[in-house]
Structure 1
Amino acid sequence: MGDRRNQLKPKQKQARDSDARDASSSSDAKANKLEGRSFLYVGGRDCQVAHLRQIASSHGAELIHHDGGLREAVSRIDNILPSVDCVFCPIDCISHDACLRVKTGCKKWGKAFVPLRNGSKSSLERAFLDLKGNRSHAG
């Protein structure tokens, strides 16, 4: 009987280790929920684009920027939308035409549209944290 108990222990330990690995990989998947995804940022300030891309990169995501029609044709947004997962628009730094085009394009292609309170770096950071599910949606 003593031999039988010793035989079960390694199996129990193996099952417990497997459960711990599964929980760890599930936690890693949640943490890297944005890994490999691409986002379009329309509008904002040109001087912050590099910083915004760095924020996206820190979350494992790619950020594509469109200036909202200042120098780039607004129609280019239509060509970019199918290839991205989500679109951010800082509502204080975007033309009405560009915002309307983004909204209608997001509906057409089934993409998430995320209006940002402003064009600040912290506003984009909060949006990424919300998408990752690390923040509550209150506040």
Structure 2
Amino acid sequence: MIRAGDPVAGHLFVQGRVAADGRTALLDDVVGAGWHLVTTDPAVADALADDDLAWFAAVGGRVVAVDGSALVDVDGTYGRWFADHGATAALQRPDLHLYGAAADPAGAAALLAGLRAALAHPVPTPHGDPA
């Protein structure tokens, strides 16, 4: 599942080291599996509606702010990736690939809305003849 027309959609997301609670580890080891809306911009979480956040949590998602507050981007991996792609948020699928990215907080809200619509109305895949 990818966001149509998004140049980073389907690509494997970066895996950087973060510091949290006195330890340094790869981000995925700190936040675990699931859908992650990763951002370095604290304004992204504020731009998301409570209803969207509740829905995202219900499908196993969470907003992951690598903004220096709870999670520190030890090697600058996330800062570089977001700068290189002109993005402030990236929606990572449970398989560690990207659903898409957003240039601003409003775009991050649109990412969640797009995912919500896609999961509510999945496109059927063709099935071959089992014979």
Shorter chain as denominator, the TM-score bin is 0.3 to 0.5
Higher relative contact order (CA 8 A, sep 6+): 2
Higher strand share: 2
Higher helix share: 1
| TM-score, length of structure 2 as denominator length | 0.37
TM-score (norm 1): 0.36
- Higher radius of gyration, 1 or 2: 1
